[in-house]
Amino acid sequence: MRVRSALIASIFALAWGSVGEQQTLQPAVKQLKQQLDKLNSDKSTDEHTIKFTADSGFNSEANLEFMAQSGFDTYIADNQFRKRNPLFKDSETYETEQEKRD
């Protein structure tokens, strides 16, 4: 059995004012790539070894297209999964949250 070790590190953080999350993803990723380029002098490394995750607040068609071209192995939570998931059909908490948004 082969076991791989993983290094998980947060090497980049930004603070934004009251701007919506979706519009912050692309500038943050561009700055992250610049930082990674400075840290990575060995350009032979496969970029897909970098995993990028974001919560559903960052999910938009534009962000998904942008990240598809980023070279990162990207995972962004689906912001519509509760509407399709039968487990949430009778969820009182979910329905209450939906009413607040409408």
SS3 of the chain: helix, strand, coil, percent, to 5? 50, 10, 45
The pLDDT tens digits along the chain (102 residues) read 444 445 555 556 666 666 678 888 999 899 888 888 887 766 555 544 788 899 888 999 999 999 999 988 999 998 888 788 888 777 777 665 556 565
Q: What is the pTM of this model?
A: 0.63
Asked whether residue 14 is assigned to any structural domain, the reply reads: no
What is the number of domains present in the chain? Answer: 1
Asked whether residue 4 is assigned to any structural domain, the reply reads: no
Provide the 3-class DSSP secondary structure of residue 75: strand
CA dihedral 65, 66, 71, 76 (to 10 degrees): -70
| pLDDT of res. 65 | 97
**Structure tokens of 30?**
């561009």
Asked whether residue 47 is assigned to any structural domain, the reply reads: yes
Q: What angle do CA 54, 33, 24 make, to 5 degrees?
A: 45
User: The domain containing residue 53 runs over which residues?
Assistant: 21-101
C-beta of residue 27 within 8 angstroms of C-beta of residue 62: no
| pLDDT of res. 48 | 45
| pLDDT of res. 46 | 56
Could you tell me if residue 59 is left (phi over 0), alpha (psi between -120 and 50 degrees) or otherwise beta?
beta
Asked whether residue 2 is assigned to any structural domain, the reply reads: no
